Amino acid sequence: MLGYIVKRLISLAISLFVASVVIFVVVEIAPGDPASFMLGINAQPDTVAALRTELGLDQSKLDRYLSWVGGMLTGDFGTSYTYRTPVVQMIADRMWVSLPLALYALTLSTLIAFPAGIFAAARRGGPGDLAVTGATQLGVAIPNFWFAMMLVLIFAINLRWFSAGGFPGWDKGFWGGMKALTLPAIALALPQAAILTRVMRSSLLDILGEDFMRTARAKGLTERQALWRHGLRNALIPVLTIIGLQFAFLLAGAIIIEQVFFLPGLGRLIFQAITQRDLIVVESVVMLLVFAVIVVNFLVDLAYAAVDPRLRTRT
Amino acid sequence: MTLLRIENLSLAIHGTPILHGISLKIAEGEITALTGESGSGKSMTAFTTMGLLPKGTSTSGTITFDGTELLTVPEPKMCDLRGREIGMVFQEPMTALNPVQTIGAQVMETILIHKAMPPDQAEERAREVLVRVGLPPERFPLTRYPHELSGGQRQRVVIAMAIALRPRLLIADEPTTALDVTTQAQILDLLKRLVKEDGMALMMITHDLAVVSDMADTLNVMRHGEIVESGPTAQVLREMRHPYTRQLFEASRHQADLGKAKAEAPLLSVQNVSRDYPLPRKTPFGPRPMFRAVNTVSFEIKRGERVGLVGESGCGKSTLTRAILGLEPTQGGQITLAGDPVWRDGHPNLKVRRKMQVVFQDPYGSFNPRHRVARLITEPFHLLPDPPKGTDRDTAIAEALIAVGLKPEDANRHIHAFSGGQRQRIAIARALIIKPDLIVFDEAVSALDVRVRAQILDLMADLSRAYGLTYLFISHDLSVVRSITDRVMVMRAGEIVEDRPTADIFHAPNHPYTRELMDAAPQLPDFPEAQDAPHPAL
């Protein structure tokens, strides 16, 4: 088991290194001068030169890479050109919205998908299965921004249970913050829950056909007992994979939902940074997202090993 | 005392009749065998008794277990009987256990699910049962996972789960079919011992008449969902009143007419060949340990010879085969076919590859279901520098199909239209079509029923005589090897321990391991009537 963890940690470190090089190359070394790109085509040459010095573009490429990576390791992500504030502060502010939102949505989607998938698989081909499968079709097909607007229309405008958008901040109290995130989390969770339900259902159905399920029945387990005791854990591997992918997506891919609900999240930050050509922010946020994805994958790998003993011995 | 009485049992799945009026009795302390070919309904009889039928089945008749009518008993009561009163052992030990639970938990579950005793006692009982089936906790702690055990050990765990609560009836569905002969002998002994010690009744389902003749008190021969003959085993095998019983028996001991091998010039030469596999590292940065699957093996096969390679799983016979076929490089030694090396300059030598073909075990998995037979059997043409086209190609296809006893028109059909035996004929046609010198048969008849197997063995013998083909015949089944080879090599732990003419080796094995194999293999009894069947040479 320890060997497995060490091995996964090594691959995590290598992935991070490769990702940082790729991001650096794409943003800083790709054709065109970052400084003149950031300032636009009408910029004065001396302004460009000043920015070049400020960004350290007159140094060698290796020095720039090392100081960028070194800065990130020590918590210094540089200063946003547009806002003139430390990038690390901007990201931290947004993270306090995006991370809870992603976790909230993921929890909701898992809470919906597990029971729904198990319910459908246990009633394969029956009316319950058809209803669940039909609902997941719908869940995948409905665009989440439309669904978000419907939620606003019903729960904010008509029923007035929630506010239509904005985020009061966590300093106004935990429940206030959660309340503001509820509609966005539901809007985000719906399509994810639909996908996860389908994965859960088909994964369980595969397992239900396995020989060891028959063995379990021969021991005297009822169908339901066999499903819970032997089916579920075996069916988890593909489900964990999807959950990992979904978390990474929810963290940064919430941009449309953030727009609908006026949430100051990471998605909006990167969108604004791109439109304002603030490369320093873009670079840092992308690296951070890559970091999050890789760490989540690492956690998923550990979860695999916890679920399946065969993976612990294989290296 | 009769424990299980099946009377006039019929079964249909979605309207298709599967069983027709089955009647049989099993008494306590008795072994009753159901035998027959695949599709004869023997497993379905077992699953009906267990109440584990797929959806959409309808049954009639009665199954009475100690006064309880199993076909009409409510499901909760049936769940209570399963595992407690009736246990079941399955064919495939590799997949019959839950891979994510320890063996201890799985054996204990049988006890706990029936609330037979509190958890600490259940653990104690699990330990006892595992000892009984030959898995002492000192060597096989309860915390082991199934993937850490061999096939035979896993089958012992499955048996332990089935007998943990001392059921009065044990149903064993082909319990040794997936196992090696020596493991098979051990498992059969174990089952016999359990019946004797516990007075348990055993319903044994097997296609193997030799196993039956050795084990069963009563024999039921099944065909097309009916019992065609039944009675005490010795009597049934002596009298064989039904022609089908006789056919099965004769096919089981079938001897193909090989003719005299025109073995002269050497064809395949294997010199000091070794093959290593890397194992997982013990520590994250430690060196990779190597496993030597084939250890400096040397032998020769002469042109026209039919040579068998036998050994148990893991002995290296498949690894050796892949090396001979040039599918993998070797770590030492030289393999040549008619003087040309099969592996040259780090690549398989195409010139040699086109002189060798292989026929695999699984007639269902080794064909692409979307292609027609014509395309399937012409696959080896890509090995030729100038493959035949147009009418030449059609002629080649027709010739190959006729040679294996099929019709030229079959070229336009898809593979699903053919039975298992016909598919194996197509596999042989695919091997024949480029007129190879050497054909490797890798367990090529192991998945076939005995009567089909006898036909395929005859076909192989005919082709060998007609075309002077050289065969390397790999199998774990000694009786098959005996019937189709001139010479046998016995492989163990990566080495060939004995290499002698088939007749000699079966008459008087030299090496202790060969003797062990022969002793473990179940034998058909010699009855005077059966000896009337053609039984040449040996």
pLDDT digits (tens, 9 = 90+) for B212-239: 888 899 999 999 999 999 999 989 988 8
Given pLDDT bands bounded at 50, 70 and 90, which one contains residue B263? low
B301 and B231, same domain (yes or no): no
Instruction: Dig out the tokens for A47 from the structure.
Output: 């302004």
Q: Which of A214, A229, A314 sits opposite B52 (nearest CB)?
A: A214
> What are the pLDDT digits (tens) for B126-166?
999 999 888 888 888 999 999 888 888 899 999 999 999 99
Q: How far apart are the first and last CA of chain B?
A: 44
Identify the CA nearest to B109 among candidates B162, B155, B175, B168. B162
Q: What amino acid is encoded at B254 in this protein?
A: H
**Contacts of B365 by beta carbon, 8 Å cutoff, 6+ apart:** none
What backbone phi and psi angles, to 5 degrees, belong to A247?
Answer: -65, -45
B116 contacts chain A (CB < 8 A): no
The answer to whether B1 contacts chain A (CB < 8 Å) is no
Confidence of residue B106 (pLDDT cuts 50, 70, 90): very high
B212 plus B235 within the same structural domain: yes
Choosing among A215, A224, A237, which should be mutated to test the B contact, i.e. which has the most B CBs within 10 A?
A: A215
Place of tokens 């194992």: B279
Q: Which residue of chain A is at minimal alpha-carbon distance from B92? A: A211
Interval B420-446 mean pLDDT: 89
Four-CA torsion B17, B18, B20, B22, nearest 10 degrees: -150
Same domain, residue pair B76 and B185: yes
Looking at the fold, whether B227 and B244 belong to one and the same domain comes out as: yes
If asked whether residues B20 and B85 sit together in one domain, one would say yes
Asked if A215 is an interface residue toward chain B (Cβ–Cβ < 8 A), one would say yes
Tokens 């202790």 sit at which residue? B512
Residue B196 sits in the same domain as residue B317 = no
Residue B107 belongs to a domain: no
CATH of domain A87-313: 1.10.3720.10
**CB-defined contacts A:B, below 8 A:** 86
- Measured CA angle at B158 (ends B107, A304), to 5 deg: 70
Which residues of chain A lie closer than 8 angstroms to B50, CB-CB?
218
CA B289, B290, B295: angle at the middle one, nearest 5?
150
Confidence of residue A90 (pLDDT cuts 50, 70, 90): confident
CATH number reported for the structural domain that contains residue B216 in this entry:
3.40.50.300
Domains contained in chain B, number:
2
Domain that holds residue B212: 2-94+168-252
Could you report the predicted ipTM of this complex, rounded to two decimals?
0.81
- Yes or no: say if B445 and B424 are a contact pair by the CB < 8 Å rule: yes
DSSP secondary structure letter of residue B144: -
Q: A307 to chain B: nearest residue by CA?
A: B100
- Does A307 touch chain B if contact means CB atoms closer than 8 Å? yes
Count of alpha carbons within 13 angstroms of residue A283, beta-carbon side: 29
CA A247 to CA A239: how far, in whole Å? 12
Within a domain: residue B365? no
Looking at the structure, do residues B65 and B209 belong to the same domain, yes or no?
Answer: yes
Report the helix count and the strand count for chain B, using DSSP H and E: 18, 22
Q: How far is A60 from chain B (nearest CA, A)?
A: 35
Least-confidence region, from A200-204, A245-249, B105-109, B426-430: A245-249
pLDDT at B525: 78
B124 part of a folded domain: no
Please state, rounded to an integer, the average pLDDT across all residues of chain B. Answer: 88
The three-class DSSP label of residue A151 is helix
Task: Indicate the DSSP class of residue B82.
Answer: B
Binning pLDDT at 50, 70 and 90, where does residue B102 land?
very high
**Cα separation of A28 and A20, whole Å?**
12
User: For residue B506, is it within any domain?
Assistant: yes
The answer to whether residue B337 sits within a structural domain is: yes
- CB A265 within 8 Å of CB A98: yes
What's the rounded mean pLDDT across residues A51-57? 76
Nearest-angstrom CA–CA distance, B15 and B8 = 18
**Is B201 within the bounds of a domain?**
yes
Residue B322 is assigned to a structural domain of this protein: yes
Q: Which two tokens stand for residue A78?
A: 């540089």
The distance of B103 to chain A (nearest Cα, Å) reads 12
Together in a domain, B248 and B272: no
- Whether residue B298 sits in one domain with residue B243: no
Q: Which of B106, B153, B162, B122 is nearest to A309 (CA)?
A: B106
User: Within a domain: residue B155?
Assistant: no
